Amino acid sequence: MTFKKNSSAADSIFDKTAGDCHENMTGTRIPLESLPNTRDLGGIRTADGRIIRPHRLVRSGALAGISDADREILLNEYNVKTVIDFRTDTEREEKPDPEMEGVRLIIDPIAEEETMGITRGRQGLLELLNLKQDADALMLKIYPELVGSELSQKHYARFFEYLLAQEEGAVLWHCSAGKDRAGLGSALVLAALGVPESVIRADYLLTNDYLQAANRQLVAQLSKVPGADEEKLAKIKTIFDAKEAYLDSALDYIKNKYGTMREYLEKALGMDEAKLRKLQQMYLMEAVETGALKKHMIDTVKEWQLKIGYMEENMKLYYPAQSLKALLGLPEEAAQEELDTALAVFAEKVYPSLGRLKISHNKERYCLDIPAEGCAYIAREVPEPAFLKQLLAVITAPGKTLSDVRRCFADYAAGQKTGFVEEDGAHDGMGHVFYFEEGADDCYVYCVEENEFGLTYHRFGKEDYEYART
């Protein structure tokens, strides 16, 4: 795999085994109303195929001004127990972090005021308008210092010690915007966990997407300051960007002085082999298969939309724990904690399409609540299943019998160039059982009953069907 780079010096900084992965997934933005650049690193895949545990590692911009609703999300949904503030004294005094019940606040300033030279505080922004030097040159000077100065290395080393000491819940770290100090901190953590370089770069650059609106608003405000001409505003826009060249300047420093990222982590930050192994044991887990459960959920919602029409509301789906384990590729003996963690990973991965799922359970019975926007996505984007549509036409038509159902299966199987199976499931209370052989685009088991009122059916995934029979 080829990585885009602005500097050849960074080419061999990462372990050769960390150059590729099956899925270049970046961290998931937490949809907060007051914090645009807060991300859960959970779900990011390492080079060896493992993934970062969800709700354990969270990167962010400053928390000042957080809304009550966002505070509840971080505390209750993401279980944030520790906040690490990378900012300088001046930044903290101007915009202090809010107190949050049950959360430990750690002050860990990565750089001195003189090193940064720029902040997003009011005074810092006004000073930027009078910046004399080239903006790119300033950032290319700052980044190597953030990984190379004695102070920065001391505090990034402490950052890793805090991660290693975190027994439960999530750690959230932040600087001012969540771009430079927090961005480099995230890159170092991802590297220590064995995440491929391409993913580390992509995660760093995502800041541009998430801060675009906020940066535009800040520039608009500064444009009203007397003397704020286009040249000065252009410098500010440059400093607000997360550029690959800035990241490369830090990696170049590490390459030139330490040779590899592994050597830097050990010699500069004290992360020897034992500590790296512990960090990975704490924050990594085996990958979760999410495709089968997502398909099952979408198919189930689509089935109901076909039967009763689309309604703009949420939908709750219920699953026994054993069915969820099968759909997620977990072993039958997997503990509840492992299943809950896998479901959290699943929820993060399907968020872009299905929205924020609400997951609850009562003993062995789980409820996956799909929000209205997720159901709208399914109605809008997912095609109607051809066979189910044909079967429903038979089931709902008056005067139809099992023979018509049998003919429906036979006709569709012929079109798919495969066969179908019919079994008598009456002894299991399942009625007449129909399903297609391998090769059909419908993988479900249909249990059909005929009585004086007509035909009824229940559709099961194969795992659910086997579970229902027992």
How do residues 68-118 score in pLDDT, each as one tens digit? 999 999 999 999 999 999 999 989 999 999 999 999 999 999 998 766 655
Count Cβ atoms within 10 A of the Cβ of residue 344 and give its class: 0-12 exposed, 13-18 middle, 19 or more buried.
Answer: buried
Alpha-carbon Rg for the chain, nearest whole angstrom, is 27
pLDDT band at 121 (very low <50, low <70, confident <90, very high): low
Of the listed ranges 222-236, 253-267, 381-395, 430-444, the least confidently predicted one is 222-236
Count of beta carbons in the 10 Å neighbourhood of residue 71: 19
- Supply 299's token pair: 């198919």
Comparing CA positions, the residue from 140, 126, 76, 129 lying closest to residue 102 is 76
Count of beta carbons in the 10 Å neighbourhood of residue 333: 7
Of the listed ranges 119-133, 216-230, 355-369, the least confidently predicted one is 119-133
User: Measured between alpha carbons, how far is residue 455 from residues 156, 379, 405, 421, 436 in Å?
Assistant: 67, 26, 9, 19, 20
DSSP β-bridge partners for residue 59 = 39, 173
More confident residue, 383 or 229: 383
Q: Return the DSSP state at 46.
A: P
pLDDT band at 459 (very low <50, low <70, confident <90, very high): very high
More confident residue, 25 or 173: 173
pLDDT digits (tens, 9 = 90+) for 287-307: 889 999 999 999 999 999 999
Does position 183 have pLDDT exceeding 80, yes or no? Answer: yes
Do residues 55 and 340 touch, judged by C-beta distance below 8 A? no
pLDDT digits (tens, 9 = 90+) for 13-62: 776 544 444 444 677 899 999 999 999 999 999 999 999 999 999 999 99
Residue position matching structure tokens 């997951």: 359
